Amino acid sequence: MAQNDNEYYKAYQREKQARDELETLLEDKTRSLYLANQELEANLTQLKRQHAAILQSEKMATLGVMSAGVAHEINNPLAYVNSNISTLGQVAKGVSDLIKASQLFADNGLDQQAFKETVKALEEKYQLGFFAEDAQDLIEDCQDGCQRIAVIVASLLDFARPKNNEFVMADMTEAIDSALGLLANQLKHIELVVEKAEIPLSFCNLAALNQVIINLLINAKYACEQAKTKGICQTPLIKLLLRHANRQLLIEVIDNGTGIEESQIEHVFEPFFTTKPVGQGTGMGLAVAYGIVSEHKGTINIKSKPNQGTKVTVTLPVCTSD
Ligand SMILES: Nc1ncnc2c1ncn2[C@@H]1O[C@H](COP(=O)(O)OP(=O)(O)OP(=O)(O)O)[C@@H](O)[C@H]1O
Ligand SMILES: [Mg+2]
Q: What's the rounded mean pLDDT across residues 50-54?
A: 84
What are 187-238's pLDDT values in tens digits?
989 999 999 999 999 999 998 999 999 999 999 999 999 999 999 989 999 9
Q: What's the rounded mean pLDDT across residues 144-166?
A: 81
- Mapping DSSP to helix (H, G, I), strand (E, B) and coil, where does residue 33 land? helix
Residue 280 CA: distances (Å) to CA of 84, 275, 283: 38, 9, 9
Please tell me the distance between residue 317's alpha carbon and the centre of ligand 2 in angstroms.
Answer: 24
Domain 169-317 part of CATH 3.30.565.10 = yes
**Closest residue by Cα to residue 241 from 197, 275, 206, 199:** 197
Predicted local confidence at residue 165, as pLDDT: 66
Burial class of residue 150 in the structure, from the number of CB atoms within 10 Å of its CB (0-12 exposed, 13-18 middle, 19+ buried): exposed
What are 270-311's pLDDT values in tens digits?
988 999 988 788 888 999 899 999 999 999 999 999 999 999
Q: How many CB atoms lie within 10 A of CB 209?
A: 28
Q: Residue 160 — pLDDT band, cuts 50, 70, 90?
A: confident
Q: Enter the pTM of the model.
A: 0.73
Angle at 239 (CA atoms; ends 234, 243), nearest 5 degrees: 165
Predicted local confidence at residue 158, as pLDDT: 77
Cα–Cα dist 18/14, whole Å: 6
User: Residue of the nearest CA to atom 10 in ligand 1?
Assistant: 219
Considering only residues 55 and 22, tell me which one the structure prediction assigns the higher pLDDT: 22
**Closest residue by Cα to residue 282 from 14, 48, 64:** 64
Predicted local confidence at residue 101, as pLDDT: 92
Q: Which residues surround ligand 2, an ion (CB under 5 A)?
A: 219, 285
pLDDT at 164 over 70: no
Q: Which atom of ligand 1 is nearest to the CA of 65?
A: 27
Predicted local confidence at residue 184, as pLDDT: 87
Q: Which of 4-18, 32-46, 198-212, 231-245 has the lowest mean pLDDT?
A: 4-18
Q: How many CB atoms lie within 10 A of CB 219?
A: 23
- Mapping DSSP to helix (H, G, I), strand (E, B) and coil, where does residue 252 land? strand
Cα–Cα dist 271/286, whole Å: 8
**Closest residue by Cα to residue 220 from 189, 242, 174:** 189
Please tell me the distance between residue 275's alpha carbon and the centre of ligand 1 in angstroms.
Answer: 7
* Cβ 258 under 6 angstroms from ligand 1: yes
What are 81-128's pLDDT values in tens digits?
999 999 898 888 999 999 999 999 999 888 899 999 999 999 989 888
* Cβ 256 under 6 angstroms from ligand 1: no
Please tell me the distance between residue 106's alpha carbon and the centre of ligand 2 in angstroms.
Answer: 70
* Cβ 287 under 6 angstroms from ligand 1: yes
Q: How many CB atoms lie within 10 A of CB 127?
A: 15
